[in-house]
Amino acid sequence: MDLLSDLLSAMRTGQPYAGRTTSQAPWGVLFPVGDVAACHVVLQGSCWLIPQHGAPLALGVGDVVFTPHGDAHALVDQPGSPTIDFHAEPGDGSPIREMTIPGAGATTEMLCASYSFDQARPHPLLHGLPQVVHLPARVGHHPDLRAAVDLMGNELRQPRAGTEAIVPALIDMLLLYVLRAWLEEQSEHAMTGWVMALNDPAISTALHHIHRYPGRPWTVEDLAREAGLSRAAFAKRFATIVGQPPLAYLTWWRMTTAARLLRESKAPLSTVAERCGYGSEFAFAKAFKREFGSAPGRYRRHVQPSQDLFEN
């Protein structure tokens, strides 16, 4: 399990959705604040992204934008065009949504995907991402990302047998390729936080072991040994890069893993406790309630799926 893939498993709270949107000028759509990361790809024509904060961004064919923090934003044919609030038809369980805005002007076609994230417990990597990740179309750059866009576009343009199973996997693929492309474009001097951790062999090794084996009784000495550093050097380097001490991060990851297991599985509490490094249900329940303000069983019963861009 690599660290970038962990972003998906740790943060996902609901089914991802994707759709093709066709709009004819003049048009504008306002996407509200929510626990949703959105990705937009221009397939035909052009448009502008108006972020919640900052200057408007012109987009052309092949451009990809990703809004990772759930901020409000608008897509318009031109700055100043009136906008309508985004409303979609109620979902029927399908991961595919469509939207059409008729008009008399030029046509813009886009691929849009939404991904429900747990914004209450954001993955540290998200802190290092800007409000808008913009990956402009450039010949020869990020061919894997372009291939993912083509695959998803084909599935949405002409759904066939298996499309509803394929699309969620393609949304995962698209998101990972967007993140990978953005990370690859960052200069070494601009890296901070988790972005730096991904490129630091010692710290990424320690994080890998924490993520892969959260149930082990890790000590700072154990993790330092895996990282190939002295205890003191490792503890200082880890806290500086990751933003918290090693054992504090270990607890955060264990609780994040536990919450995911409670949301997505029917595993007994004793199994969840063991997988997250707790020797008894009592110790696990005490730690979980301290972190979430709710006992594990109650959390499991009351957790609700997050809204996404394509649901009312």
Could you tell me the fold of the domain covering 200-302?
Arc Repressor Mutant, subunit A (1.10.10)
How confident is the model at residue 214, as a pLDDT? 94
Confidence of residue 110 (pLDDT cuts 50, 70, 90): very high
CB atoms closer than 10 angstroms to residue 306 = 20
For residues 13-20, average pLDDT: 81
Nearest to 217 by CA among 247, 243, 238, 245: 247
Contacts 24+ apart (CB under 8 A), 230-237: 234/202, 234/206, 237/200, 237/202, 237/203
Average pLDDT over residues 126-131: 82
- Express each pLDDT in 203-251 by its tens digit: 999 999 999 999 999 999 999 999 999 999 999 999 998 889 999 999 9
Average pLDDT, the chain: 87
Question: Which of 5-9, 110-114, 122-126 has the largest mean confidence?
Answer: 110-114
Break the chain into its structural domains and give their ranges.
3-186, 200-302
- pTM for the model: 0.81
Output the pLDDT for position 310. 43
Report the pLDDT averaged over residues 189-207.
Answer: 80
- 194: pLDDT strictly greater than 80: no
Taking alpha carbons only, the member of 147, 157, 134 closest to residue 21 is 157
Q: What is the pLDDT of residue 41?
A: 95
Q: How confident is the model at residue 95 (pLDDT cuts 50, 70, 90)?
A: confident
Domain 3-186 fold = Jelly Rolls (2.60.120)
Closest to 263 measured CA to CA, from 214, 297, 216: 297
Helix (H) or strand (E) holding 214: none
Report whether pLDDT(59) > 50.
yes
Which pLDDT score is estimated for 58? 97
HSE, side-chain direction, 13 A CA sphere, residue 35: 17
For the segment 158-191, what is each residue's pLDDT rounded down to a tens digit? 888 988 889 988 988 998 999 889 888 876 555 6
Question: Residue 93: what pLDDT?
Answer: 63
pLDDT of 202 reads: 95
What tens digit of pLDDT does each residue of 266-311 get? 999 999 999 999 999 999 999 999 999 999 999 998 874 444 444 4
Q: Which long-range contacts (CB under 8 A, 24 or more apart) does 271-279 make?
A: 272/296, 274/215, 275/214, 275/215, 276/214, 276/215, 277/214, 277/215, 277/216, 277/217, 277/218, 277/250, 278/254
Q: Which of 109-123, 126-140, 205-219 has the lowest mean pLDDT?
A: 109-123
